[in-house]
A and B are shown apart, each in its own frame.
Chain A
């Protein structure tokens, strides 16, 4: 049972994180290039999603939106909720990476005769990515942890299974122990991978 629930947690978490990376990337690009109207919308979106809890967002999507005709099942709702929350965190991580690149880098690259695309591809992005990796990995762990909330919208994830087992058999200690073990199994590798990546990419930093 736990195994199945763990897979569900991982699957929804990964899809949600993937969506949030894409969303975050677009939002960061919009902020970086200062696209006129979209910039306002993105800023508002980031503030809105960063200042409200995921549980409230999920309840709104899952119970509130069907009332105005937008229906989603629990799994889709979970992914959308995670992407909505994660998008803003990812956007912030990417944006801070992009902004950390001094404008002198772009200018020198341009004066070397590189095209705008080349500047982005060979000069700005490699540095920006290596700078934003720590924040990025922290976000991945944070989002993976947030998936525990999904049990509230009756998705059969780890949390839900544990609660179910406690209710059915009254084996509180065993269920909770397994719950902890499974979360460690999911989250520890990500955390270790994160610190490895951070060390590996450190060299790309300039002057630090």
Chain B
């Protein structure tokens, strides 16, 4: 049986270090989620407004952020903005900024989609029933929107967690970087460590994302 290099995992604190790396990745994504979801909801609501200027600006922002690969955005903020404005950003801050920008764009698009999907007769019927505007939104529109929105936004969280693996490229020490370090350190003792360690990272990401995407699927089925 070939040596799979799994024993490196149990050497010293390697497993704990890997988990610490995963925590860095999760921290960035959770922070970004916490900031970008409220912002996204706000922007999404604004996108449905009739004002052409607001709509135009938002649309350009949305299209640009969504069409650019996240890695390009990371480079733009981490290398580009620091050079252009002369400020100093740590890799983690840059990562959070990028994920907030990106998350806000994705979230606002989901909100817009959910709001548009409410047929107009819902508004009209509630008006016909004598509900005020506030009541219409509170009792009719928002509950329906939320039901459509929650599974999708949970899905977005898993996408964010998966995308945080990219912050490796701007020098943040997250799970993949830790994996590289461990492999480098054990190059002589166990040359096959790359297989075992990367396999572990693979599994770790799966463990982090799988329950969340299951929850999203479950909610989607339950509320349909």
Contacts and interface: CB of A to CB of B under 8 A. Distances in A.
A52 B162 contact: yes
Interface residues of A, number: 41
Interface in A60-111: 60, 63-69
A67 B5 contact: yes
B202 A52 contact: yes
Contact of A183 (B72, B163, B194, B206): B72
Nearest to B71: A148
B167 to A, nearest CB: 10
Nearest to A171: B83
Q: How large is the interface on B (under 10, 10 to 19, 20 to 34, 35 or more residues)?
A: 35 or more
Interface in B1-47: 2, 4-5
A56 B194 CA distance: 12
Given A148-B71, A152-B169, A184-B67, A53 B5 contact: no
Interface string A144-186: 0111110110000001001100100000110010011001100
Contacts of B83: 172-173
Interface stretch (B49-57, B73-81, B144-152): B73-81
11 contacts: A50-B213, A51-B162, A56-B198, A57-B202, A59-B176, A64-B199, A68-B2, A141-B67, A148-B71, A172-B80, A187-B67
Contact of A55 (B72, B84, B165): B165
B67 A148 contact: no
Interface centre among A51, A148, A187, A191 (most CB of B within 10 A): A51
B79 A176 contact: yes
B143 interface: no
A35 interface: no
B168 interface: yes
B69 A145 contact: yes
Given A60-B198, A176-B76, 16 more contacts: A47-B213, A50-B213, A51-B205, A52-B205, A53-B162, A53-B163, A55-B168, A56-B201, A63-B183, A64-B197, A67-B5, A69-B2, A159-B71, A172-B79, A176-B80, A183-B67
Contacts of A204: none
B70 A145 contact: yes
Given A57-B202, A184-B67, A179 B162 contact: no
A44 B116 CA distance: 35
Contact of B75 (A54, A56, A147, A176): A176
Nearest to A163: B75
Interface residue SS majority, chain A? helix
A193 interface: no
A52 B69 contact: no
A188 interface: yes
B222 to A, nearest CB: 18
Nearest to B203: A52
Nearest to A184: B67
A145 B163 CA distance: 12
Nearest to B75: A176
Given A52-B162, A56-B165, A59-B198, A159 B210 contact: no
B3 to A, nearest CB: 8
B209 interface: yes
A171 to B, nearest CB: 10
A48 interface: yes
Given A48-B206, A56-B176, A148 B201 contact: no
Interface centre among A57, A65, A67, A166 (most CB of B within 10 A): A67
Contacts of B158: 51
B129 interface: no
Contact of A180 (B68, B166, B168): B68
